């Protein structure tokens, strides 16, 4: 397994995708910081117009709880897109670049290769989350945000981490779609469908029963009116993640690889 993990890490490291995803999450942290900067001075926020109005949607207060909540919400929604793209790229590239045929008749079981890919995706996404949170702490410190309390900040960071973990789990069906569709586009389609449906279902008030809405609800994106997803929501997320991973592994093992 270590050797297979090393090959997956090498393939990821040699591409531009890690840099692009790191840049995307850097932009998220900076945009959050910009909102806080604007909200620190309401007069300046109003004079900026549209940007000021958008910034007020983040809760309207420039303090640590608001900023950490923004980061958790960004992980839920932006994470589904960025983590989904990482998943699609990791699996879809083998089909797009026709390298999958070199992975099918090896002494290493196909399931081990699939598992190594999922491990690398999970590590990659959790590193991105860590980068976002570290940057967030730095930006919040530079802005001298009020409301610092060790408990409050720890809770905010743990919540963002838990949301990231759930979001990573929810991307495994996207990998399944990329494999069954043998390329990037089916994965992208599945990811867009998941994000779109999550918004609709959450807006209808059934978000806690729909796995892809659960991270956003946990992050507080739906606002105080929505009940938290609870244990059922978390169980649904874990089951969805497991189903995606097992389905992908079974597909690699059993399907006809005729292209």
* Residue (46 or 98) nearer to other proteins, CB: 98
Minimum separation from the CB atom of position 3 to other proteins (A): 4
Specify burial of residue 211 (Cβ count, 10 A radius: 0-12, 13-18, 19+): buried
Q: Which is nearer to other proteins, 15 or 47 (CB)?
A: 15
Give the shortest CB-123-to-other proteins separation in angstroms: 18
| CB of residue 8 to other proteins, shortest distance in Å | 9
Asked whether the beta carbons of 121 and 87 are under 8 A apart, the reply is yes
Helix (H) or strand (E) holding 56: helix 50-56
Which C-beta is closer to other proteins: that of 20 or that of 142?
A: 20
Smallest gap, in angstroms, from Cβ of residue 174 to other proteins?
A: 21
- Choice between 14 and 144, CB closer to other proteins: 14
Contacts with other proteins by CB under 8 A lie at 3-4, 6-7, 10-11, 14-15, 97-99, 101-110, 113, 253-254, 256-258
CA–CA distance from 42 to each of 30, 34, 38, 142, 204 (Å)?
19, 13, 7, 19, 33
Number of separate helices (H) and strands (E) present in the chain: 11, 0
Alpha carbon distance 122, 102 (integer Å) = 24
**Cα–Cα–Cα angle for 197, 203, 208, nearest 5°?**
75
- Closer CB to other proteins, 16 or 144, in the complex: 16
């Amino acid at each position: 397994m270590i050797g297979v993990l090393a090959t997956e890490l090498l393939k990821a490291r040699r591409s531009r995708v890690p840099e692009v995803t790191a840049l995307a999450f850097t932009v998220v942290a900076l945009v959050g910081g910009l909102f806080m900067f604007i909200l620190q001075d309401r007069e300046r926020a109003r004079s900026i117009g549209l940007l000021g109005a958008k910034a007020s949607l983040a809760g309207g207060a420039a303090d640590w709880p608001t900023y950490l909540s923004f980061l958790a919400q960004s992980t839920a929604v932006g994470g589904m897109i960025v983590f989904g793209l990482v998943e699609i790229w990791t699996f879809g590239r083998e089909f797009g670049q026709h390298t999958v045929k070199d992975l099918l008749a090896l002494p290493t079981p196909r399931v081990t290769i699939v598992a190594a890919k999922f491990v690398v995706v999970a590590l990659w996404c959790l590193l991105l989350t860590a980068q976002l949170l570290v940057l967030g702490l730095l930006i919040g410190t530079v802005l001298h945000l009020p409301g610092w309390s060790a408990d409050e900040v720890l809770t905010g960071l743990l919540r963002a981490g838990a949301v990231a973990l759930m979001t990573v789990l929810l991307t495994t069906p996207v990998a399944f779609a990329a494999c069954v569709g043998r390329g990037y586009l089916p994965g992208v389609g599945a990811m867009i469908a998941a994000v779109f449906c999550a918004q609709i279902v959450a807006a209808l008030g059934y978000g806690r029963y729909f796995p892809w809405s659960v991270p956003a609800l946990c992050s507080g994106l739906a606002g105080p009116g929505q009940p938290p997803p609870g244990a059922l929501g978390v169980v649904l997320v874990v089951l969805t993640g497991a189903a995606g991973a097992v389905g992908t592994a079974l597909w690699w093992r059993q399907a006809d690889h005729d292209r």
